[in-house]
Structure 1
C-alpha cells in the first residue's frame, strides 16, 4: 500500500485512470484489500444479497461512484464518495471546495440525533383533556419506549421527550403524540416505529380514543446538520461574480419556482453521498423539502451574505437523518467501503460531511449561473454520455465529445452525424 496521503487536494485526480484514482483513494483512506476489491467490481453486490434486500429481484443497477477531492471539513481533509448518474455534480463539489480550502474549508455542526415518532389518536370527544392525560403519563411512556430497545439504551440513546398537540383536520380534531427519541448512530426509523406501535394500546386505554397511524416523521427538525464556509472574493473571480451569486440566492429565497431548482442542486450533492453510504435518499429528500417550507412558503435551504472584508459567506441548515448501522448501510459492501473512505465513526460526523457537500454543490451551481451559465460546464461533461449513446467507442468518445462542445450542439442527432463523419461514412 502506498504511503498514506493526508491531503484531499490530489493533483491531477480527474486526469487519472479509474484504477489510479482507486489506488489514490485507497492510500488516503487506508482501505484494506476487501474494500478495494469491492470497489473494483462494477456490480459489487452479490445476487443473493440483492434478493434479500428487496422483493421480486431480477437484476441490479450500477450507479457510478465518484470521489470529491479538496474537501476540508472541521479542519480534517476528507475524500467524499458520491453515487450519481449526473454529469458535473462531482466536479462542482471539487471546484467549490478548492476555492474555500485555503480559507479554512467547511465548518459544521449538528443539533443532535433526535427522531420523532407520531401516534395519531381520533374519536375522543374531549381532545384537550386527552392531550393532558397523555402528558401526565410522561414517565410511564418513557419506560414503555425504552423497553423496546435495551441495546439503544445501553448505547446512551432512548426516549428523550414528549409532545402532544391537538390538530384540527377535515375529519375533526386529532390528538397527535410525538415521541422524541435519541437514535444515536442509527437513522432510527425501525426503532421509533416500534416504540409508537408498542405505545398505541396504552394511549387508547388512557383516553378511550382510537389510534390509527403509528410512524416516524421524515421532517426530522430535531436532527439538523449545519455547514458554513467563506470564499475570498479573489478566489471566486471578483466582486462582480460575488454579487451575481448573491442576486441568484436572493432570487431563490424569494421565489418558490426558483427555490425548487436551487434546492434540487443542493440535493444533487447531498443525495449522492446519502446513496453512496447506503442511507435513505427518499427520507432525506422529503425532510429537506418539508424543512424548506417550514415558514409557510417554500424557500432556499442555503443563505449567502457578504462579510465585512468583502468575502462571500455561505450557510446550509437542513434535516439529515442518516446512520451508520442498520439497513443497506450495514449490509451493502459498497456502502461499507464508502464509509471507510470517509473515515467517519458516528452518524453525526457523516451528517456534517454531507451538509458540507450540499453547500459546496450549491456554491458551484450559483457561481456557474452567475457567470458562464449552467450549460457550458455541464454540457461539456454530458457530451461524453451523448457520444457513448450513439455508439462511440474508445478514442472516438473524446473526439466526438470535443466536436459537440465546439459546435455547442450536444444532441444525439448531431452526435450521430458527426460520428459517421469520423468513421468516414
Structure 2
C-alpha cells in the first residue's frame, strides 16, 4: 500500500473515501461506517451516561507515512484544520530517508494499592515482597483469559512514601495487559489484592487503581529529515538554517516549561486525533505524557539534533496506553473502520504509530514556527471556515477563501465584504 496520495485534498469526500478504501482494502461495512459517522442513540446510550445525543468530528487522512518499512494511511479525528495537513507534510519530509522507525517497551501497566496508618512501613514492605509470589498468583486468578494470552501480573513492587498525611505503603502490581488498554484488568487485580495488602501491612487500604504514568509502556519513534526537505524555493532561509532553528526551538523548550507546554501540545495534536479516531482513551495518554515530561522538571517529549550527515535527527519517547481489543473501540462503527485503515496487529504496533504521528506533527509545526510563522499556513487552511462563518455556501466558500488568502486578510469582516461583492 502506497501512502503517498498527491492531490487527495482536491478530490470530493466520496472520492477520497473510495481512494482510501481501495488502498486499505476496506469492506463495505467500513466504508458505510465512515460515511455515516456517528453512533446510533441506542449504542451511544450503552457507552456513556445520561445520553441526550452525539457529536461528530471530521475524520481526515494523513498521507505519506512510512513506519518501520510499511506505508500507512493515518485516520485523524480533529476539528483543527491544519493538523492533518501538518502530519502529512511532516511524514513526507522524512519519507525519502526511510520514514519512521519505532520501538515499544511492551504493554505493561501499573496498579497502585495505598495502605495508610501503617505502624512499621518498612517492615510491612518486606512482608509484602516476601509474599510476592502468592500475591501474583492471586492477581492472575482475576483474569485467566489475559494470562492465557501471555499476559497477567508479572511482579510486585513496594514504595514507602512520606506524605503530608504521614507514612504510606504503596504496592505496585506490574501487569502485562497484552493488546488491551488495561485499565479494567489492573483495577480488578488491585481490588482483589486489597484485603491481602491490608493484612500484610496491618494498616488501612484506601485507593486501589491504575497509574496513568505508564512509564513501563513507552513508545519511541525516530526519523531523519534532510535539510533540503525543510525549505522550499519561496523561502529566504536555507534548509540548514531551518534545521538549526528547529534545534534551537527544541533547546528553548528544554530550558523553559512555558515553551515546553506548547511544544508538547503540538505533539499531542497528532496523537490525540488518532486516538480519538480509534475511540481509545486520549485523556489517559495526555495524563501519562505530561506526567512523563515532568519527571525532572517539565520538558519536551521530543529531541532534535544534527547527525553526522547534516540531517535533522528527530526522536520522541512517551508512555502510550492504547488497546486494540476491549474498551469502546469495537462499539463505534467508524472507529472500527479507522482501525481497519491502520491495519494494526497489536497494541504495541498502534502505540508505535502514534509516536511516529506525534513526532511528525511536532517537527512540521516547528518548521513552520521557525520559517514563515505558524499563522501563515494555519490561517490559510482556516480561510474556508472563515468564509462559511461569513455565510458563504457552495462554490462561494472556495472563492471567498481564495480571495482572503490572496489578500492576506483572513478575517470575518473581510469575508463578509467579499461575499457581498461576489453576490
What band does the TM-score fall into relative to the shorter chain? over 0.9
The separation in 2 between residues aligned to 1:242 and 1:165, in whole angstroms, is 44
Query: Structure 2, unaligned stretches of length 5 or more?
Result: 232-238
TM superposition shift of 1:331:
1.2
Residue 409 of structure 1 is matched in structure 2 by 409
User: 2:17 matched to 1:17?
Assistant: no
**Cα displacement string for residues 172-215 of structure 1 (whole angstroms, at most 9, x for unaligned residues):** 01100010000000000000000000000111112210011000
Residue 28 of structure 2 is matched in structure 1 by 33
Aligned pairs for 1:103-114 within 5 A: 103-114=97-108
TM superposition shift of 1:398:
1.1
The separation in 2 between residues aligned to 1:233 and 1:382, in whole angstroms, is 28
Residue 82 of structure 1 is matched in structure 2 by 76
Q: Secondary structure at the match of 2:163?
A: coil
Residue 244 of structure 2 is matched in structure 1 by 243
Tell me the C-alpha RMSD between the 2 structures.
Answer: 1.0
Aligned pairs for 1:20-419 within 5 A: 20-41=15-36, 43-237=37-231, 238-295=239-296, 297-419=297-419
The separation in 2 between residues aligned to 1:14 and 1:269, in whole angstroms, is 18
TM superposition shift of 1:417:
3.1
Residue 3 of structure 1 is matched in structure 2 by none
- Does the CA-based 8 Å contact 2:404-2:414 persist in structure 1? yes
TM superposition shift of 1:162:
1.1
**Cα displacement string for residues 378-398 of structure 1 (whole angstroms, at most 9, x for unaligned residues):** 000111111112211011111
The separation in 2 between residues aligned to 1:319 and 1:103, in whole angstroms, is 26
TM superposition shift of 1:133:
0.9
- Does the CA-based 8 Å contact 2:38-2:54 persist in structure 1? no
The separation in 2 between residues aligned to 1:23 and 1:59, in whole angstroms, is 29
TM superposition shift of 1:332:
1.1
- TM-score, normalised to structure 1, is 0.96
**How many residues matched?**
416
Residue 3 of structure 2 is matched in structure 1 by 8
The separation in 2 between residues aligned to 1:107 and 1:328, in whole angstroms, is 29
TM superposition shift of 1:17:
1.1
Q: Secondary structure at the match of 1:392?
A: coil
The separation in 1 between residues aligned to 2:245 and 2:347, in whole angstroms, is 36
- Does the CA-based 8 Å contact 2:181-2:327 persist in structure 1? no
The separation in 2 between residues aligned to 1:112 and 1:270, in whole angstroms, is 18
Moved over 6 A (4+): none
The separation in 1 between residues aligned to 2:287 and 2:178, in whole angstroms, is 21
The separation in 2 between residues aligned to 1:406 and 1:7, in whole angstroms, is 33
Q: Which moved more, 1:398-407 or 1:303-312?
A: 398-407
TM superposition shift of 1:47:
1.1
- Does the CA-based 8 Å contact 2:87-2:361 persist in structure 1? yes
Query: Structure 1, unaligned stretches of length 5 or more?
Result: 1-5
**Cα displacement string for residues 273-310 of structure 1 (whole angstroms, at most 9, x for unaligned residues):** 11111100100001000000111x10000000000011
The separation in 1 between residues aligned to 2:301 and 2:422, in whole angstroms, is 46
Q: Secondary structure at the match of 1:63?
A: coil
TM superposition shift of 1:18:
0.8
Q: Secondary structure at the match of 2:64?
A: strand
Q: Secondary structure at the match of 1:308?
A: coil
